[in-house]
Every structure is written in C-alpha cells, then in structure tokens.
A and B are shown apart, each in its own frame.
Chain A
Amino acid sequence: MLELKNISKIYGGYPALTAIDLKIYPGQVHGIVGVNGSGKSTLLNILSGQRIISDTGGYRGDLVLENEPAAFADPGQAMAAGIGMVHQEFALIAGLSVSENICLSRENIYPWSERIFGRDLGCINPSANRARAVKVLGEMGVDLDPDILAGELGVGAKQFVELAREFNREGLKFLLLDEPTAVLGGQDALKLITIVKKIAARGIGVVYVSHRLEEVLDCCDRITILRNGRVVTSLENNPSGSPKTEHSQINKDKICALSHSMVGRTVNKTQRVETQRAPKDSAKRPILTLSSFSVEKPGDCLDSLDLDVFPGEILGITSLSGHGRSSMGPGIMGLYPVGGKVWFNQTPVFSFNPSQMIQKKIGMLTEDRRGQGLLLDHSLVENMTFSAIQAKAKFVKKSRLPFLRFPDTKQCLAYANSCQKLLNIDCRSVFQKAFELSGGNQQKVCIANALSMAPTLLFVNDPTRGIDVEAKESILALLIQAQKTHGMTLVVSSGEIDELKRICDRIVVLYQGRMVDVLPPDMTDADYLLACSGISKADPGSFA
C-alpha cells in the first residue's frame, strides 16, 4: 500500500498541495481528477521523485510505502522502490527500437560478460531483449513490431510502448499514469483502459490522472477529486464491466456530479464588466473567416477549424492545455506551419508572417511574455515602442537614408508616459528595465506595445497567466476598454473559463484541436467542463 500522509507542497509562495491524505491499494485503479492547476501533476511529481520537487524546496508530509517511510530525491530512487511513471510527454528515445525502449536500463545481458566486466559493461543480448519485448507486448495485447524505431511510431503506439516499458519491470508495485489518453483517439483510449485494468489485475496499484471523466468512471475503483490543491472527496466507484458501455443517463449524471465537485462553488465576482452587447448583427460581414484552418504548433495543434470572427466582438477560445487553444494567434501570425484558408476583411490571405500581419493591422499578445513578448533587458519605453518603430515606422525621425533612421525619443517618451498613466503601470520610471516589473505590469507593457501598432484585430493568449489576482482584474478591464475605445476585435484564448465568461461575447471550445461547440458566456462551468472533455451540448452522446 502507498500512503500519503498530510502532504503539502509550496511553489514560489503559493500552495500547490495542502494536506493531502491518500491511500493507494495494490490491485486497484485510483483515479485522480481535477481542473487545471488543482495539483494533480505536482502530486505525481512528488510520487515519482521528479527533480523539480527537490529543486523547488521539497515537500512536507510523509510518504509511506508498504509500512516503510519513503522519500525520493530523483526518479531513479522512485524506480528502484517500484514506482513507475508514464509521462504525458513521451519519455521514449526516438532513435532506439521499440524493444530497446521497453527494456531500457533493464537489459538482458550475457552472463559471461557480466562475470568478467561487471554489470555496466555487460554485453547486451539483443535477441533476449527482443523476446522479452514481444512477450510483454503480447501480454498487453498490443500488436507492434519490436524492431521499428520509437521515433517512427504514431502517438498512440508510443503511449503503449511507454506502458509496456513500465509493465516490463519486475518489482513494479505502483504505476503512475499522467493523462494517458490525452493524445489517444477513441479506440486507442478504450484499449488503453483495458490494459490498465490488466495491470491492476496483476496486483499493481495504478494512479490514473485524467481529465476525461467518463474514462475515470469506466476504469477506476476509487476516485479522488482535487480542487485548489486539496482533496475534495474520495469516492468508491464500480467500473462498469465493459468500457464500451454507452453513455447512459446514469453515467451522465455521475459525470455531472463529478464535474460539479471539480469546479466547486461558483464564486461570483464582478459578473460581466460590460453589459451584454447587442446580439450579433447577422448582416455584418466577418472581419476574419477561417475555413478548415489548421496549425501545427508542437504539442498544441489546431485541426480544421471553421470560424467567422465579427468586427467589434470579443471571441473567447478555450480548451484544456494541449488541445489547441493557444495556436490560432501564433498560426495566423505565421509562427507555425498552417493549412486551410483564411480571409481577412473578405480578402484571402496567402502568406503568413508577422510583418505582413502587422501591416494588415493584426496583432498578437503572446502568453510567453518573458520568452516572446518583451526585451527584458531594455527599458519600458523601448519595449512599448519597439514594434511600432520597426514594423510601422512610427515614432521615427524623418531621414532620407534608409539605413540611418533614428527613433524619435521625444515621441517615444510621450507615448510611454501616456501609456503608463492610461494603463496604470506601476513602475519607478518608464526607463526602468522590463525584467524588474511584476508579471501584471509586464503584461500591461506588452499591451502598450501591441496597442502602439493600432491593430484592428488582436489575438490575446492567456492574458492572465502568472499574474496576481488584482492585476488580473485590471488586465481584463483593459482588454474591454481597448475593444470599446478603439473598436478593436479581440480573440482571447485562455484556460480560465471563468474569466472568458466575463469578457467574451461567445466562446469557442476546442477538444483535441477540433471545435466542439461555440457557447454563449452564460452557460454553467459544468457545461464548459463537459465541452472541454469533448462532449458537445448539442449532441450529448458523442465521444470524440
């Protein structure tokens, strides 16, 4: 039995987990569900001894593994103690074959070589490894060529190889699965659940973390719901015999109940800063039209989206992370390869690159402020005016020589000062370096930079990520203000459904890169949660 006693973990001053008590029994599948940021990943990281835990100050509380206290400083120790983990991002080595991956660091070696040179310099016996891999794959019921390179496998197959690797380990007592079906299609997901049950039947305790509630109901013996780093409830569940059961009404009710406890009591903050805008004028021509638009952003793809964006609206895009919500803006700006057709103001767009988009008055606020949105070592003035100077030749002194154009410092300063007042940026002076500001103020600087180019269409990605509560409110207010005063069209993508609901006219929900539904902002959180796990309101039986 793996027992967690009073486990707490603090990341940079914020509690990620608070007083978690859990018991994981051998031979049972223990489901853990919760929304983004509820602490599921942190929990798994502690159990599997990931470095990030000890690097950020460790955790409090005790782990008890089979009545013995345990603590893992690195993944190797956790593995030695019999805890295996299947990672969300595959930990497969692309250049090794399936069988090599399955047997990795547990290779069969020729006994004679071990006797002469020791374990590390023992000669690997490839045919024994292959045989073992075949056996394991056979037991799992997966049909895979063990000699194919792992890099050439599809995502589904990769997930099975990961499972096989853990399955292959002798002395495996507990297996941690982090969103194992996140990248799998329907059939593969069912297959995986069967395998998980098989593993549990061998007396191995499985921790199954997932967003997909219906799967959790299908395969878990026990379900724990996390919210804000605390255990909300832990309930028994009787996995219905075959996972293929239709989504009966009972199941649906259960899912609804679960999703309600995941979300918790709805906190009513200032609902809708703006009164409901006039319903969309259907005669209005769309400012942006997407037709089977796809974006290949690694780890966050968008797949054949058909959408009209109307001038003056605030459109929200949401999905679980990794399901495509953050790729539309970067795709239009040309940061990733795109497919499909795009019309902007009824004119087709053929080439996608930032400078052309800026000329067309399309802008983007990136979610990765430090990585893409700011020159951290430069002053706020430069950060606020840089893009306009470069792309629009605004704030530039007149000069005949194209190479010798100097920025007009007076104009820049005037703009920066006005922005500082307007956006209420908290800084000592506008000459302060960007890296010294807090996240919220950095975001405002990014907004100032975006506004300096006077876009008519602005993509905003996760505008409130990594920002404290107060600043969040003012950022949201700013976005609405920008929309109102400049008549701008905003496309806001965020995982914070609550926030989207407060500012958007309508919200697109994506699942696995595809559009599930376009919902009005007054739907309940539970409805959104269902849509995020791929169940459309219009078609309650569907399962992507």
Chain B
Amino acid sequence: MNPKIQIPQLFIIGFLVLMIGIAIHLEIPMGWIISDALVRLVMNGVLVLSLMPMLRAGVGINFGLPIGVVAGLLGLCISVNLRLKGIMGLSGAMVFSFPIALVLGRGYAAILNRVKGREEITATFVGFSFIPLMNFFWATAPFSNPGMLWPIGGKGLRPVIGLKSYFAKALNNLWMVQVGELKIPIGLLLFFALLCLLMVLFFRTNFGRAMTAVGENAQFARLSGIDVGHVRTWAIILSTLVAALGICVYAQSYGFLELYDAPLMMAFPAASAILVGGSCGRHTRMGHVVVGTFLFQTTYLISGPIANEMMLPEVAEIFRMMITNGIILYALLYEGGKNNGSV
C-alpha cells in the first residue's frame, strides 16, 4: 500500500549493489548480466505472477504452487510426446496444460476452502504430498516418445528431459535483438508484459473487483451478494492456471523439463520474490511482482559466478536459500506483529 521501502527491499538492494560491485571487480561482463537478468525476470516472473490472485483474494501465499506446476509439466510432456516443435510446441504445452490446471485447481480450491484461516500450511502440505503422488504417475505414464523415457527398460519418464530438439528457448529467441553486447529478448518481454496486462485488466473487471473485495473484507463482500466461496475458488483456479503457464515459460527458458521431486520447493523462491517486491498480504500489485522478481532473480543470477570465482560454489546456493527463507520469515513476523498491534 504505502510506497515506503521496507527492510527486505533495502537489504536486497544493498546486497545487489554489493554483488554488482564485486562482479565489476571480477570483470564479469555487464552485458551478459543484464541480458540474463531480463531472461530470468520472465522465466520466473510468470510463476511469481501466479501468486497474485490468491494473495489478493485473501487466501494467502500459494505454497501449493507445485500443483499448478505439475499441471504445466503434464502439458509439456504431452507436447513433447507429440513431438511439437518451436513456438507451436510451447503453445501446445500451454493449451494442453489448461484443462489439467482447471481440474486440479478446482480440487485444490475445494481443499483450501475447507481450511479457512489455515490455508498456507495446508497448501504447503497439499503441494508436498502431491509431488510423490505424481511421481507414481511419471514412473508409469504411458508416454511413447523414447526421448522422454528411461534409456534402459523404456518404462517411465526420465527425471530430466532435454527440450533442445523440441522447443527449448522458443520464446527466449523470439524477436531477439542484439544491441552491442546486450541481447534483448523482445518476444519474451512482450509475452510477460501481455500476461501482466491481462492480469491488471482482470482485476478491473467486476469479477476481479469482487475478488479484491473478498480478500479485503469477506463479510462486506458477502453482504453485497457475492458468493465468497465461489470467488475464492476462482482465485485459486486462476493461480493454478498461471502457475501452469509459468512452468511452461520456465522450462523452455531453462531448456530442460524437470520431473519428479523438482517442483517440490518451487513455491518458496517465488513467494520470497513477491515479498521482496513489497507485497503484504492482500496488498499486492503488479509492481510488486515485477520489481520483486527482478531484484530477487538478479541476486540469484550474480551470486553464481561470484561464488565460482571464490572457489566456493556451494556458497551461492546457501546464500540463496538463506535469502529466500529469511525474507519469508521476515514477512510473516512483520505482518504478525502488525496484527497483534491493532487487535
């Protein structure tokens, strides 16, 4: 709500400046950093965006993000199995994942609507338990493209499927413009901008406003004739849908399809990013998503080469984990403190 910069933002900006200083000192090319930062912004930005509907509807942070991710992975697998290539392949994956996300989101919503007031912890465990359930499926799924299956035995999907011969970087390289050292992925950025615009527009519609109102004051919404459960359900479905899109963008950018336990912890960096952006419960705006993802992912990005230069490659990962969880914890404590004060 208020544009005041808070401790997490200050901390992460300070950290980022420090790391850019080190990066310049270590002569890591700036052009590479900037172009990669742009790619990573979109690569993770869609996943972060997917948290927004649930946050605004007052359901809390979607720690059950793996559910949407799994829907997207299924779409991707179908697309790969059909050997679709390029932009076709990517859009195919998105289209296939759509109905799956719809169904999964509906079920997920039914669960979360039962546990009002304790959505976050329940979502975490629903997400956690969904992963091994899907592992069952991955290990037995009737896919036929040998590129996806275990080379030996030919049964069950591989944990990592290369997308190089299908649609790796399909969106990344769309309308890529080279300016000196800088590579600007215009297509990718436009796609992200379009998604953000659609989301902003959605929250301007009647239904989008109803969703915001449910998050802010469910009783008021109810007295205005809104079916609160219905609105929450759609917020959760929308989050799941966008998460499915998010993993499609992520996978094409990464170039690999990671199955099995890979989505288990995906919710936490996304949650951290949106919190860094300044999101505070239902006060979540598009700016929070974009700024948060950019700051958070850029620190992620730079920390890698720096740690490598320091000959301690694990440090980067540990630092990332620390930042991720530290920010979420700060947000929890900060919000909790505020609530206690007002009551």
Contact = CB atoms under 8 A, between A and B. Distances in A.
**A and B touching (Cβ–Cβ under 8 A):** yes
A143 to B, nearest CB: 39
Contacts, number: 74
B178 interface: no
A375 B205 contact: no
Interface of B: 1, 204-207, 209-210, 213, 216-217, 219-227, 283
A392 B221 CA distance: 14
Contacts of B227: 355
B283 A377 contact: yes
A244 B216 CA distance: 53
Given A354-B224, A355-B226, A390-B225, A396 B219 contact: no
A406 interface: yes
17 contacts: A335-B222, A354-B226, A355-B226, A364-B223, A373-B220, A373-B223, A375-B213, A377-B1, A382-B209, A386-B213, A387-B224, A390-B209, A390-B210, A390-B224, A396-B206, A403-B207, A405-B207
A403 B234 CA distance: 11
B220 A372 contact: yes
A375 B225 contact: no
A390 B219 contact: no
List 4 A-B pairs, minimum CB-CB distance, nearest first.
A391-B225, A355-B225, A387-B224, A372-B219
B205 A404 contact: yes
Given A364-B223, A375-B213, A376-B217, 11 more contacts: A354-B224, A355-B226, A373-B223, A386-B213, A387-B223, A387-B225, A391-B226, A405-B206, A406-B205, A407-B204, A407-B209
Q: Is the interface of B mostly helix, strand, loop or mixed?
A: helix
Point out which of B1, B221, B227 has the most chain A C-beta atoms below 10 A from its C-beta: B221
A230 to B, nearest CB: 31
A403 B223 contact: no
Contacts of A358: 224-225
B209 A333 contact: no
A366 interface: yes
A368 B216 CA distance: 15
Contact of A333 (B207, B220, B223, B283): B223
B230 to A, nearest CB: 11
A53 interface: no
Interface string A347-377: 0000000110111000010101001111111
Given A403-B207, A406-B204, A406-B206, A386 B219 contact: no
Nearest to A395: B206
Nearest to B227: A355
B295 to A, nearest CB: 25
B252 to A, nearest CB: 28
A419 to B, nearest CB: 16
A453 to B, nearest CB: 9
B213 A405 contact: no
B4 to A, nearest CB: 16
Contacts of B209: 382, 386, 389-390, 407
A366 B210 CA distance: 19
A371 B217 contact: yes
A378 interface: yes
B334 to A, nearest CB: 18
B281 to A, nearest CB: 11
Point out which of A372, A390, A403 has the most chain B C-beta atoms below 10 A from its C-beta: A390
A404 B201 CA distance: 9
Point out which of B205, B209, B213, B220 has the most chain A C-beta atoms below 10 A from its C-beta: B220
Nearest to A388: B224
A533 to B, nearest CB: 32
B17 to A, nearest CB: 33
A357 B224 CA distance: 10
A110 to B, nearest CB: 38
Interface in A336-353: none
